[in-house]
Amino acid sequence: MQITRVETIRSPCRNYCWILIHTDAGPIGLGETYHRADPAEQIIHEFARSHLLGEDPLDIEKIWYAMYQRASFHGLMGAELRAMSGIDMALWDLFGKTVDQPLYRVLGGRTRAQVPVYFSGIYDHVETNKEAYQAWSKECVDQGWKACKTACFFGDFYPTRGATDFGRATGYISATDIDEGRRRFEWVREAVGDALEVGLDLHAAFDVPSAIRIGEAIRDLDPYFIEEPIQPHNFSALKEVREGAGVPIAAGERIFSRWGFKEILELNAADVLNPDLAWTGGISEVKKIASYAEVHYVPVAPHNYGPLSCMALAHLMAVLPNTRHLEYTAHHYSGWNTYIDEPIEVRESMLDVPERPGLGRELSTAMLELERTVIEVP
């Protein structure tokens, strides 16, 4: 079996890039990457010409390392790894379809039939007052949600949207703003108690002292985790935040490949890892990152922003024993289920692992009718 053609399709919003890998044997592999998709798509086309056409698509490790070696000349984060991630996803989807098995079986077999998910962006569209927060919190618990993540407690104050120029410039947060963020958290705890695990996303916006102050201020409210309190490039500083804040720290959304995660694990700088499968190297790489995290007894709760990535992660998390909740952003992006041929449905905060071959989803008819770019054997 050989790869004969590679196609890319862009979503109507242009935020997603989908990859279709064709072979001379019939099955078509489907992959996805997202955010800053323009440069990633160009690199996908380059990799298609140099490393995919004419190759056996089941030689996934060989192809991954060839792309990685090529990327290492130009940069091992950003567009290069996003391109690799989408291609890798498509190759694994193709593998499952070739043997007519769901992806979790070709990855080693499942340890669970359902994957727990958390409601990401839970308060994004809720009015900022006690009554609205509490009513919505109760409704979510009644719907079966058991975990969530929000940037709305302290998100209003992070530097790109900060309340003062001083805050925007330095990553500083005032005592007044900390009190306001804590107050919002208290509204939730008063309404639903511990029925809802609450993670806080700080979007890497603060300096070390401010991140520690935030952690200290909400420690008694028992947050599920604080995600990316500071920029993730200095792991010693992140360890300082973890030790000073006294709350679980999640990191990894902006860390790339297993080599990027090596130091954070060896320094014991985070309590939870949240790699993004569409950014950090694909299914192949997240599986290796999770295995290395398991050695350090660190759980993985992947970052996720796409419908096909959601399916890929459902399979992968069914296989891996050290995973927590999967980020679920479908409420954030109502268009998700218009992109694929079968809706993603969450019940009681759980996602069923698909049983269809490969990822278990295809692009919808409407998406397949969009313009595509074709790279094929001359």
160: domain CATH number is 3.20.20.120
Tell me the C-alpha distance between 243 and 224, whole Å. Answer: 16
pLDDT at 272 over 90: yes
Judge whether residue 260 has pLDDT over 80. Answer: yes
pLDDT for the residue numbered 377: 77
Q: How many domains does the chain have?
A: 2
Q: Is the pLDDT assigned to residue 166 strictly greater than 50?
A: no
Helix (H, G, I), strand (E, B), or coil: what is residue 144?
Answer: coil
Asked if the structure places residue 294 within a domain, the reply is yes
Across all residues in the chain, what is the average pLDDT? 92
Other C-beta atoms lying within 10 Å of the C-beta of residue 331: 15
In the chain, helix, strand, coil percent, each to 5? Answer: 45, 20, 40
**What is the domain extent for residue 41?**
3-101+363-376
Q: What is the mean pLDDT of residues 26-49?
A: 94
Claim to verify: residue 289 and residue 149 sit in the same structural domain: yes
Q: Is residue 38 part of a domain?
A: yes
236/256 Cα distance (integer angstroms)? 17
Same domain flag for 97 and 117: no
Please report, for the domain that includes residue 34, its CATH number.
3.30.390.10
- Shared-domain flag, residues 206 and 273: yes
Give the pTM.
0.93
Averaged pLDDT, 206-220: 95
pLDDT in tens, 79-94: 899 999 999 999 999 9
Instruction: Kindly give the pairing relationship between strand 114-120 and strand 147-150.
Output: parallel
